[in-house]
Copies of this chain bind each other. A is one copy, B any other.
Amino acid sequence: MKRKTFITSADLVAAAGLPFGEEVQQKKLRHQVFFWLKNPDSGDDKQELIKGLQTLAAIPVVKQLRIGVPATTEKRDVVDNSWQVSEMMLFDSLDDQKFYQEHPLHLAFVKQFSHLWQRVVVYDIME
């Protein structure tokens, strides 16, 4: 007798040994960047920078790329929400991060879009 088994996405993820909705738990270099635009109120400049950041996903060592904006959480002294756009990437290693820094697509991004920002802060985090 032929049986059909209905498997949900959650089952598949569980079967694959991955925590649902989370990253695989392995040591990673998290590259977290915040941009302050020259024109912080310009929606066009924000969208242009976001489009530029999306081009970085094509760099093979970039294991994840997330682009963000400040969340509207409650105002607290410790919360810095003065930036306009953020970028988060995961790398497998320090070498991969170096490869990324020197990759033509990254250099092209800086050349083409750096006129949009007045300040950038980078946090390189080993987790």
- In the complex, the count of this chain's copies comes to 2
Nearest-Cβ distance from residue A55 to partner chain B, whole angstroms: 17
Which of A16, A26, A63, A74 has the largest count of B CB atoms less than 10 A from its CB?
Answer: A16
Q: Are B16 and A12 in contact (CB under 8 A)?
A: yes
Main secondary structure of the interface of A (DSSP, over half): mixed
Question: CB within 8 A of A86: which of B20, B66, B68, B123?
Answer: B123
Which interface class (under 10, 10 to 19, 20 to 34, 35 or more) fits A?
35 or more
Q: Are B9 and A16 in contact (CB under 8 A)?
A: yes
Complex CA distance for A117 and B69, rounded to whole angstroms: 27
Whether A58 is near chain B, meaning CB under 8 Å from some CB there, is no
Q: Are A71 and B88 in contact (CB under 8 A)?
A: no
